[in-house]
A and B are shown apart, each in its own frame.
Chain A
Amino acid sequence: MFEKEKLLAKNARCTALTMVHSAQSAHIGSSLSIIDIAVQLYSKSTTIDGSGDLVLISKGHAAAGVYAVLSCLQVIPNEWVLNYCKNGSELGGHVTSTNVPILELSTGSLGHALPYALGRALGKSRLQQTGHVYVVISDGECNEGSNWEAALLAPQLNLKNLTVIIDRNHLQSLGKTEETIALEPLSEKWRAFNWEVYEIDGHDFAQLSRITNETNQTKPRIFIANTVKGKGVSFMENSVLWHYRPPNSEELGLALKELN
């Protein structure tokens, strides 16, 4: 089951690792964390064929992961990925829509895409346009007040075409989310804000498929996708170090070997 998605995700992980190694750039942990979610959204929603779905990535620092998925889906050319973060190249270290229009919103500062998503979902609904708006935020990003402003407003607007996915990897920049600004009970918080809340395993495609399959919403919906930062590479998993550190050649070799 889900062999196609699993293969896509594995290839994207290898691509992201290679990109970050080659660029000696940061955020591989976040990229590995988001990849299965990104595979689900970009391969199963109708974003790419232009029939109206929209995927927004609020955690712009997971750019390598997102670009890797888009490259594996042949939305962006492989050469761009190879030049990631090089001077004069098409793709930089945060999600940017300039050369990749389907990303629509360039991010990098946290707490921006959910409010934007509300505007897009509201606009679509007022204009009776088809298509769903998906927005991926990080758990650390839930520190940002703007997200809670949006969380308050979305149910008020009765947005049935808006779905948030939290990449719940339990780590933020300097440590565990629960030791920084505790988010739990996170589901209850969103439920209290009058959202439909589901907890899923963010690396299990059987569960991830619910995000794009079950669109019969009666109000704004959120999937808290439990993930592992650095997922797929044992020595990167659940480690703050890999929020920053790029793998050296030896580490890249080990990581690719493990994934394959």
Chain B
Amino acid sequence: MRDTFIRNLTLLAKDDPDIFLIVGDLGYGVIEEFATKYPDRFLNAGISEQNMLGVASGLAGTGYKVFVYSIANFPTMRCLEQIRNDVAYHNLNVTVVSVGAGFAYGTLGYSHFAIEDLSVMRVFPNMEVYSPGDSHELEIVLPYLLKKPGPKYLRLGKNGEPLLDGTTIKSPETARGSKIGSKIAVLSTGGIGIEVVKALKELSIANAQMVSHFSVPFFSSLTLASIELHDFEKIITVEEHVLDGGFGSYILEYLEINQLQIRVKRIGIPRSFNYEIGDQGYLRMLAGIDSISIKKEIEFGLGA
């Protein structure tokens, strides 16, 4: 997703002279083309995230559409008050881009896990949250969010993630997926969607026909409304993020706001520190958010 992001941003920057890219001393081998083509709209702010977000706000205050690119928690938690006070409160056109959603940085450990970012970023007024499931969704999200004037958070996987499937969407205002069965709607956000796809493939044909999977690239009521959740008996949410305040919580809030009574099971990371070392697949398995855990939960929901 990282390469897709930069490639598309570089393309969009050709026709949009307001696009400005700031990186936090990260992006080796990724950002060079943008930096070379548009040196006047590029800045390496160094290893100083608070200042980076302040500078981004000032550039946005001057009229630029600013993208701040860094990894994991660095462009969110490390400079959270700058996002709150400078970006969100002043409704500035800054898109915070974090690469390495969930356990993507695996063996690099907890400092590099972005597993609380959705909860944190989605509480700010004006802030829109985008969490594409693969590079296709990202390609749809990017030109869309470029038209939005306010603050945005773009949560990306790392690189080389597979496409969820061959389906497409035309806008982030539509969830990706189609209604197959109406017993269970599995809703996922971000790259963890591939674990849902794997789980569905492992189901018996009869079971699979009772389940529908939707990938949600944009935390918006429009996107959720496109799923028509009232048609389903149960919802299972899947996220590579702690359960508290994350995607599943967002869905629960949506149901409450719309006064929909549907059973919900949330699959996410327990809110406890895990000191194990391993790659993304291993950590997903330990957290119970891998395809095997998801399959079990679907089968339980189907009463199978």
Residues in A lying within 8 Å of B, measured CB to CB: 97, 104-109, 111-124, 126-127, 129, 145-146, 149-150, 152-153, 156-157
Which of B84-92, B175-183, B191-199 contacts its partner?
B84-92
List residues of chain B with CB within 8 A of the CB of A145: 50
Contact with A along B34-72 (1 / 0, CB 8 A): 000000110101101011111111111111100000000
Select from chain A the residue with minimum beta-carbon distance to B58: A119
Compute how far the CA of A91 lies from the CA of B2 in the bound complex, rounded to whole angstroms.
Answer: 44
- Pull 29 A–B residue pairs with CB atoms less than 8 Å apart, ordered by A: A104-B61, A105-B90, A106-B89, A108-B85, A112-B81, A114-B54, A115-B51, A115-B52, A115-B53, A116-B55, A116-B58, A117-B58, A118-B51, A118-B58, A119-B54, A119-B60, A119-B62, A120-B61, A121-B58, A123-B61, A123-B62, A123-B63, A127-B62, A127-B63, A129-B62, A149-B48, A149-B50, A150-B55, A157-B43
CB contacts (< 8 Å) of A150 on chain B: these are 51, 54-55
Give CA–CA (A112, B40) in the complex, Å. 24
**Minimum C-beta distance from A128 to chain B (A):** 10
Known A-B contacts A116-B57, A119-B61, A122-B58; A146 and B85 likewise in contact (beta carbons under 8 Å): no
Contact among A115, A129, A146 with B58 in the assembled complex (CB-CB below 8 Å): A115
Q: Decide yes or no whether B10 CB sits under 8 A from chain A.
A: no
Return chain A residues, CB-CB under 8 Å to B85: 106-109, 112
- Nearest-neighbour CB distance to chain B for A164, whole angstroms, equals 13
CA distance A178 to B286 in the complex (A): 51
Chain A residues in 8 Å Cβ range of B61:
104-105, 116, 119-120, 123
- Identify which of A108, A127, A153 contacts B55 (C-beta below 8 A): A153
Which chain A positions have C-beta within 8 A of B73?
none
Contact, CB under 8 Å: B54 / A146: yes
Q: Judging by beta carbons under 8 Å apart, are A119 and B50 in contact?
A: no
B62 engages A109 (CB within 8 Å)? no
Is B82 interfacial (CB 8 A cutoff)? Answer: yes
Distance between Cα atoms of A134 and B216 in the complex (Å): 44
- A-B contacts, CB under 8 A, total: 93
Chain A's closest residue to B66 (CB) is A119
| Residues on the A chain within 8 Å of B46, using CB | 149, 152-153, 156
What CA separation (Å) do A137 and B231 show in the bound complex?
57
Q: Quick one: given A105-B86, A109-B85, A112-B85, are A146 and B50 in contact (CB under 8 Å)?
A: yes
Measured in the bound complex, the distance between the Cα atoms of B270 and A79 in whole Å is 54
Residues of B within 8 A of A115 (CB): 50-55, 57-58, 82
CB distance from A173 to the nearest CB of B (A): 18
List A contacts of B48 (CB < 8 A): 146, 149, 152-153
Q: Which residue from B41, B57, B64, B81 sits with its C-beta under 8 Å from A109?
A: B81
Taking the nearest CB of chain A, how far is it from the CB of B267, in angstroms? Answer: 37
With both beta carbons as reference points, the residue of chain A lying nearest to B61 in the complex is identified as: A120
The answer on a CB contact under 8 Å between A123 and B59 is yes
**Bound-complex Cα distance A63 to B81 (A):** 20
A123 to B61, CA, bound (A): 9
Q: Is the CB of A119 within 8 A of B57?
A: yes
Bound CA span A66–B43, Å: 33
Other A-B pairs, 17, CB within 8 Å; known A107-B85, A118-B58: A104-B61, A105-B86, A106-B89, A112-B81, A112-B85, A115-B51, A116-B54, A120-B58, A120-B62, A122-B43, A123-B63, A129-B62, A146-B51, A150-B54, A153-B48, A153-B55, A157-B43
What CA separation (Å) do A129 and B90 show in the bound complex?
22
- Shortest distance from the beta carbon of A161 to any chain B beta carbon, whole Å: 12
Residues on the A chain within 8 Å of B60, using CB? 119
Nearest opposing residue in chain B for A97, CB measure: B90
In the bound complex, CA of A151 to CA of B53 (Å): 15
* A111→B175 CA distance, assembly (Å): 40
| Distance of A260 Cα from B194 Cα, bound (Å) | 75
